[in-house]
Amino acid sequence: MALQANNNFSYNYSTYSNPYFRLTLHLPQSGEQTPVDAHMYTSYEDYTASMSPARGYEGPGCINTISVYVPSTGAPSTSTGSTVIDQYLYWISQQVVIKLQEFSPSTTFTITDIPS
C-alpha cells in the first residue's frame, strides 16, 4: 500500500515536494485501532532504490515516519477492491490520507499499489 502526494506536503515545519508514502500496517492490539506507519520517501524511485537488493540497498531510505492510528469503527463492509482484504486496505489508505491532510490540508494524494 502506498500514497503518492500530488503536490507539496508540509510536516514539522518542513515542506516536501510530492513525497511518496509506503504504508505499513500493524496488528491492532485491542481491535479498536489499526496502527499504520506512513514511511515518507522523497520519491517512488528513492523508495525502490532503498529496497533493491540488486542495487545494494543504495537508496537514501525514508526521510520520516508518521504513525497514524485508524479507528476500527466505521470500517465499511464494501468499498473498492476485488477481495475483502483489498477493500479493507483501500479503506485504511483512505483513512491515512485524511490523517495526513490534518498536517497538510492542501495536499492531495493518489492511493497506489492496491488491486481494484
**Distance (Å, whole) CA 29 – CA 34:** 8
pLDDT at 116 over 70: no
Task: Calculate the average pLDDT of the chain.
Answer: 86
The answer to whether 34 touches 28, Cβ cutoff 8 Å, is: yes
- Residue 28 — pLDDT band, cuts 50, 70, 90? confident
Tens-place pLDDT, residues 33-50: 899 999 999 999 989 888
Tens-place pLDDT, residues 57-77: 555 788 999 999 998 877 766
The answer to whether 4 touches 109, Cβ cutoff 8 Å, is: yes
Question: At 22, is the secondary structure helix, strand, or coil?
Answer: strand
Pairwise pLDDT comparison (47 vs 87), residue with the higher score? 47
Q: What are phi and psi of 59, to 5 degrees?
A: -70, 165
Q: Please report, for the chain, the start and end positions of each structural domain, with discontinuous segments joined by +.
A: 2-112
